[in-house]
Protein backbone atom coordinates (compact mmCIF):
# COMPACT_ATOMS: atom_id res chain seq x y z
CA UNK A 1 0.00 0.00 0.00
CA UNK A 2 1.32 3.45 -0.93
CA UNK A 3 2.95 5.74 1.63
CA UNK A 4 0.34 8.51 1.27
CA UNK A 5 -2.49 6.13 2.16
CA UNK A 6 -0.41 4.72 5.04
CA UNK A 7 -0.02 8.25 6.45
CA UNK A 8 -3.75 8.90 6.22
CA UNK A 9 -4.59 5.65 8.03
CA UNK A 10 -1.96 6.44 10.65
CA UNK A 11 -3.62 9.80 11.31
CA UNK A 12 -7.07 8.24 11.24
CA UNK A 13 -5.98 5.71 13.86
CA UNK A 14 -4.44 8.53 15.87
CA UNK A 15 -7.86 10.12 15.73
CA UNK A 16 -8.62 6.74 16.63
CA UNK A 17 7.08 3.42 25.43
CA UNK A 18 9.72 5.05 26.66
CA UNK A 19 11.86 5.10 29.81
CA UNK A 20 10.52 8.26 31.46
CA UNK A 21 10.28 8.76 35.25
CA UNK A 22 7.01 7.68 36.79
CA UNK A 23 4.85 10.73 37.48
CA UNK A 24 3.22 9.20 40.56
CA UNK A 25 4.64 8.70 44.05
CA UNK A 26 5.52 5.28 45.42
CA UNK A 27 3.65 5.72 48.70
CA UNK A 28 -0.02 6.54 49.23
CA UNK A 29 -1.94 7.31 52.41
CA UNK A 30 -5.16 5.56 53.36
CA UNK A 31 -6.98 8.90 52.95
CA UNK A 32 -5.68 9.28 49.38
CA UNK A 33 -6.74 5.73 48.52
CA UNK A 34 -10.25 6.36 49.85
CA UNK A 35 -10.41 9.72 48.01
CA UNK A 36 -9.37 8.01 44.77
CA UNK A 37 -12.04 5.35 45.02
CA UNK A 38 -14.71 7.95 45.78
CA UNK A 39 -13.46 9.96 42.80
CA UNK A 40 -13.83 6.92 40.53
CA UNK A 41 -17.44 6.43 41.67
CA UNK A 42 -18.17 10.13 41.04
CA UNK A 43 -16.71 9.84 37.53
CA UNK A 44 -18.81 6.75 36.80
CA UNK A 45 -21.96 8.63 37.87
CA UNK A 46 -20.94 11.62 35.76
CA UNK A 47 -20.30 9.46 32.69
CA UNK A 48 -23.71 7.82 32.96
CA UNK A 49 -25.26 11.26 32.40
CA UNK A 50 -23.32 11.69 29.15
CA UNK A 51 -24.86 10.85 25.77
CA UNK A 52 -23.26 7.73 24.28
CA UNK A 53 -22.57 9.30 20.86
CA UNK A 54 -20.33 12.23 19.92
CA UNK A 55 -19.91 13.90 16.52
CA UNK A 56 -17.28 16.57 15.90
CA UNK A 57 -14.84 18.11 13.44
CA UNK A 58 -11.29 16.91 13.94
CA UNK A 59 -7.79 17.91 12.90
CA UNK A 60 -4.64 15.87 13.53
CA UNK A 61 -0.96 16.72 13.09
CA UNK A 62 1.74 14.06 13.55
CA UNK A 63 5.43 14.93 13.89
CA UNK A 64 8.69 13.00 14.20
CA UNK A 65 12.26 13.25 12.96
CA UNK A 66 11.10 12.26 9.46
CA UNK A 67 8.71 15.18 9.06
CA UNK A 68 5.28 16.57 9.77
CA UNK A 69 1.96 15.35 8.40
CA UNK A 70 -1.59 16.52 8.89
CA UNK A 71 -5.18 15.56 8.14
CA UNK A 72 -8.60 17.00 8.85
CA UNK A 73 -12.13 15.75 8.72
CA UNK A 74 -15.04 14.56 10.81
CA UNK A 75 -15.57 11.86 13.42
CA UNK A 76 -18.41 10.06 15.14
CA UNK A 77 -17.95 7.95 18.27
CA UNK A 78 -20.25 5.70 20.26
CA UNK A 79 -18.97 4.66 23.67
CA UNK A 80 -17.49 2.22 24.36
CA UNK A 81 -16.17 0.83 21.07
CA UNK A 82 -17.74 2.15 17.82
CA UNK A 83 -15.99 4.81 15.70
CA UNK A 84 -16.11 6.52 12.29
CA UNK A 85 -13.53 8.93 10.83
CA UNK A 86 -13.89 10.74 7.52
CA UNK A 87 -10.72 12.36 6.16
CA UNK A 88 -11.30 15.23 3.73
CA UNK A 89 -9.20 17.39 1.40
CA UNK A 90 -8.95 21.19 1.92
CA UNK A 91 -12.14 21.62 -0.16
CA UNK A 92 -14.08 19.35 2.20
CA UNK A 93 -14.34 16.45 -0.24
CA UNK A 94 -14.03 13.01 1.44
CA UNK A 95 -10.84 11.07 0.65
CA UNK A 96 -11.16 8.17 3.08
CA UNK A 97 -13.73 6.83 5.52
CA UNK A 98 -12.63 4.50 8.30
CA UNK A 99 -15.17 2.91 10.66
CA UNK A 100 -15.63 -0.08 12.91
CA UNK A 101 -15.78 -1.47 16.43
CA UNK A 102 -14.02 -4.09 18.57
CA UNK A 103 -14.83 -6.85 16.04
CA UNK A 104 -14.07 -5.41 12.59
CA UNK A 105 -13.28 -2.27 10.60
CA UNK A 106 -13.81 -0.86 7.10
CA UNK A 107 -11.77 1.54 4.98
CA UNK A 108 -13.33 3.28 1.96
CA UNK A 109 -10.77 4.82 -0.42
CA UNK A 110 -12.62 7.20 -2.75
CA UNK A 111 -9.54 7.92 -4.87
CA UNK A 112 -8.90 4.26 -5.74
CA UNK A 113 -12.59 3.29 -5.47
CA UNK A 114 -11.61 0.53 -3.06
CA UNK A 115 -13.32 -0.92 0.03
CA UNK A 116 -11.14 -2.83 2.49
CA UNK A 117 -12.31 -4.93 5.44
CA UNK A 118 -10.41 -6.41 8.40
CA UNK A 119 -9.76 -6.11 12.12
CA UNK A 120 -7.91 -3.17 13.67
CA UNK A 121 -4.87 -5.36 14.21
CA UNK A 122 -4.95 -6.47 10.57
CA UNK A 123 -5.08 -2.84 9.41
CA UNK A 124 -2.09 -1.98 11.60
CA UNK A 125 -0.16 -4.95 10.20
CA UNK A 126 -1.07 -4.08 6.61
CA UNK A 127 0.03 -0.45 6.97
CA UNK A 128 2.99 -1.23 9.26
CA UNK A 129 1.55 0.84 12.10
CA UNK A 130 2.26 0.46 15.84
CA UNK A 131 0.13 -2.28 17.39
CA UNK A 132 -0.70 0.10 20.26
CA UNK A 133 -3.10 1.81 17.84
CA UNK A 134 -5.08 -1.39 17.31
CA UNK A 135 -7.46 -0.71 20.17
CA UNK A 136 -11.23 -0.48 20.15
CA UNK A 137 -11.05 1.91 23.10
CA UNK A 138 -10.65 5.05 20.97
CA UNK A 139 -14.20 6.28 21.78
CA UNK A 140 -13.32 6.15 25.51
CA UNK A 141 -9.90 7.70 24.91
CA UNK A 142 -11.11 10.59 22.71
CA UNK A 143 -13.99 11.47 25.04
CA UNK A 144 -11.69 11.29 28.12
CA UNK A 145 -13.78 8.69 29.93
CA UNK A 146 -12.52 6.09 32.37
CA UNK A 147 -13.04 2.30 32.18
CA UNK A 148 -16.24 0.98 33.72
CA UNK A 149 -14.47 -0.95 36.45
CA UNK A 150 -13.04 -0.32 39.89
CA UNK A 151 -9.43 0.94 40.10
CA UNK A 152 -6.99 -1.57 41.54
CA UNK A 153 -4.71 1.12 42.99
CA UNK A 154 -4.55 4.84 43.74
CA UNK A 155 -1.39 6.96 43.91
CA UNK A 156 -0.64 10.63 44.50
CA UNK A 157 0.78 12.74 41.69
CA UNK A 158 4.36 13.93 42.23
CA UNK A 159 3.44 17.44 41.04
CA UNK A 160 0.24 17.51 43.13
CA UNK A 161 -2.02 17.89 40.08
CA UNK A 162 -4.46 15.21 41.25
CA UNK A 163 -4.69 11.46 41.81
CA UNK A 164 -3.61 8.56 39.64
CA UNK A 165 -6.15 5.76 39.21
CA UNK A 166 -4.82 2.39 38.01
CA UNK A 167 -6.94 -0.08 36.05
CA UNK A 168 -5.66 -3.62 35.63
CA UNK A 169 -4.93 -5.33 32.33
CA UNK A 170 -7.36 -7.94 31.04
CA UNK A 171 -7.21 -10.53 28.28
CA UNK A 172 -7.98 -7.99 25.55
CA UNK A 173 -6.91 -4.68 27.14
CA UNK A 174 -3.68 -3.20 28.48
CA UNK A 175 -3.16 -1.59 31.87
CA UNK A 176 -4.32 2.04 32.11
CA UNK A 177 -3.01 4.74 34.47
CA UNK A 178 -5.21 7.86 34.66
CA UNK A 179 -4.45 11.24 36.23
CA UNK A 180 -7.68 12.93 37.38
CA UNK A 181 -8.31 16.26 39.11
CA UNK A 182 -10.68 15.76 42.10
CA UNK A 183 -11.94 19.37 41.94
CA UNK A 184 -13.04 19.53 38.29
CA UNK A 185 -13.40 15.77 37.83
CA UNK A 186 -11.44 15.98 34.59
CA UNK A 187 -9.04 13.45 33.13
CA UNK A 188 -5.66 15.10 32.48
CA UNK A 189 -3.44 12.21 31.36
CA UNK A 190 -3.94 8.62 30.25
CA UNK A 191 -0.96 6.23 30.10
CA UNK A 192 -1.37 2.85 28.39
CA UNK A 193 1.11 0.22 29.56
CA UNK A 194 2.01 -3.22 28.29
CA UNK A 195 4.14 -5.32 30.64
CA UNK A 196 5.34 -2.22 32.52
CA UNK A 197 6.28 -0.45 29.28
CA UNK A 198 4.46 2.72 28.19
CA UNK A 199 3.12 2.16 24.68
CA UNK A 200 0.86 5.22 24.42
CA UNK A 201 0.24 8.42 26.37
CA UNK A 202 -2.60 10.92 25.94
CA UNK A 203 -2.57 14.40 27.54
CA UNK A 204 -5.87 16.29 27.56
CA UNK A 205 -6.67 20.02 27.43
CA UNK A 206 -10.09 21.60 27.92
CA UNK A 207 -11.66 24.91 26.95
CA UNK A 208 -14.04 26.79 29.24
CA UNK A 209 -16.66 24.27 30.26
CA UNK A 210 -20.37 25.07 30.23
CA UNK A 211 -21.56 24.48 33.84
CA UNK A 212 -24.78 22.99 32.47
CA UNK A 213 -22.81 20.35 30.54
CA UNK A 214 -21.91 17.38 32.78
CA UNK A 215 -19.50 15.83 30.27
CA UNK A 216 -16.12 17.58 30.03
CA UNK A 217 -15.00 17.06 26.41
CA UNK A 218 -11.31 17.76 25.68
CA UNK A 219 -10.59 20.16 22.83
CA UNK A 220 -6.94 19.14 22.37
CA UNK A 221 -5.26 15.76 22.90
CA UNK A 222 -1.51 15.17 22.57
CA UNK A 223 -0.45 11.58 21.86
CA UNK A 224 3.10 10.41 22.55
CA UNK A 225 5.10 7.28 23.39
CA UNK A 226 5.00 5.86 19.86
CA UNK A 227 7.81 4.59 17.65
CA UNK A 228 10.41 7.00 16.21
CA UNK A 229 9.53 9.64 18.80
CA UNK A 230 6.25 10.39 17.01
CA UNK A 231 3.81 12.79 18.67
CA UNK A 232 0.38 13.76 17.41
CA UNK A 233 -1.90 16.64 18.34
CA UNK A 234 -5.63 16.14 17.88
CA UNK A 235 -7.95 19.16 17.91
CA UNK A 236 -11.68 18.51 18.39
CA UNK A 237 -14.18 21.26 17.56
CA UNK A 238 -17.93 21.79 17.17
CA UNK A 239 -18.92 18.73 19.26
CA UNK A 240 -22.51 17.53 19.05
CA UNK A 241 -24.46 14.58 20.46
CA UNK A 242 -26.56 12.85 17.75
CA UNK A 243 -29.93 11.66 18.99
CA UNK A 244 -29.99 8.82 16.46
CA UNK A 245 -27.26 6.89 18.28
CA UNK A 246 -27.25 3.40 16.81
CA UNK A 247 -24.54 1.00 15.71
CA UNK A 248 -25.86 1.30 12.15
CA UNK A 249 -24.26 4.77 11.96
CA UNK A 250 -20.85 3.08 12.08
CA UNK A 251 -21.36 0.70 9.16
CA UNK A 252 -20.07 2.09 5.85
CA UNK A 253 -22.11 1.25 2.73
CA UNK A 254 -19.86 0.29 -0.19
CA UNK A 255 -20.67 2.43 -3.25
CA UNK A 256 -21.54 0.73 -6.52
CA UNK A 257 -18.54 0.01 -8.71
CA UNK A 258 -16.00 -0.16 -5.86
CA UNK A 259 -13.56 -3.05 -5.68
CA UNK A 260 -13.56 -5.06 -2.45
CA UNK A 261 -10.62 -6.59 -0.59
CA UNK A 262 -10.25 -8.39 2.71
CA UNK A 263 -7.20 -8.35 4.98
CA UNK A 264 -8.21 -11.66 6.55
What string of H, E and C letters represents the secondary structure of 115-137? EEEECHHHHHHHCCCCHHHCCCC
What does DSSP say about strands 259-262 and 114-118: parallel, antiparallel, or unpaired? parallel
Among 249, 87, 223, smallest CA distance to 142 is for 223
Torsion over CA of 46, 50, 55 and 57, rounded to 10 degrees? -30
Per-residue confidence in pLDDT tens, the chain, 264 aa: 555 566 555 555 555 434 457 899 988 899 999 999 999 999 999 999 999 999 999 999 989 888 888 999 999 999 999 999 999 998 889 999 999 998 899 999 999 999 999 999 999 999 888 777 888 889 999 999 999 888 999 999 999 999 999 998 765 678 999 999 999 899 999 999 887 788 899 999 998 765 556 688 999 999 998 777 789 999 999 999 998 899 999 999 999 999 999 998
Classified as helix, coil or strand, 107 is strand
Does CATH place domain 9-16+19-243 in 3.30.530.20? no
Angle subtended at Cα 158 by Cα 39 and Cα 144, rounded to the nearest 5 degrees: 45
Q: For residue 196, give the H/E element and its range.
A: none
Q: Indicate the domain borders of the chain.
A: 9-16+19-243
Amino acid sequence: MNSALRNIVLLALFILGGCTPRPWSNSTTALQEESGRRLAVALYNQQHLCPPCLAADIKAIAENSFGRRGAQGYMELMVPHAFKFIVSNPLGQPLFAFAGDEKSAQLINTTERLATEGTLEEFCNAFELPKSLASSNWPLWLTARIPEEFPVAVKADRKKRGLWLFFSASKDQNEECLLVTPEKKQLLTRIIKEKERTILRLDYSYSQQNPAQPCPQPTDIVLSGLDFGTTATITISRPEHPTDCRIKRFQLPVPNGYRRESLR
